[in-house]
Amino acid sequence: MAAARDQLESQPEWTGVVLDLILPDGYGLDLLAEIRQIHGELPVLVLTGELNRDVVNKVQTMRGEYVCKPASADNLNPFIQRALAQERVDDAAIGQRIEHLARQLKLTRRETELLTLSVDGLSRKELADALGVAENTVKAQIRSLLKKSGARSLATLAQKVIKGATRDTVPPGEPTSPAEG
């Protein structure tokens, strides 16, 4: 864990972190907790040799992702694509708006990922590739997201997120100034 801490402290910004659950001098979940305190929403992928439901739930509670070893390109590429997309959608206001909508609309983690990637302007095929799923699966997930949001298209919803985030960071329904309250 000491080496990982040194690396994390050596530069202030990271695109994502892949860490092992079992480290030579510590436990990966302890490091994940430290990452959350220092780096907030940084994408983190936890690797392990065994599938343990309690550990998986703990990782997800800590807003991490989980892959069993041996990790393959099929397991790692979707995480890498999401981390890169999150880095490109670096406007804090857009991120706050997406988080707010995810809570407000009770979006699943996958729907939230889909919305985040769509704000970056990815095509349906690129969305499928980034998420590591078939294009038909993306279509079904888009339908679910549109039904929850009431938007007519994913592009329209993405534009609303972008425009809402550029105007202000106050969630809908909350006053933007004392005069409105």
For 24-33, write each residue's pLDDT tens digit.
888 989 999 9
Query: Which of these three, 71, 102, 122, is where a domain ends?
Result: 71
Q: What is the pTM of this model?
A: 0.52
User: Residue 151 sits in a domain of what CATH number?
Assistant: 1.10.10.10
Q: What is the mean pLDDT of the chain?
A: 81
By residue range, what is the domain housing residue 54? 2-71
Residues 63 and 94 in one domain: no
For 43, the token pair is 């994408």
Q: Which residue has the tokens 């980034």?
A: 130
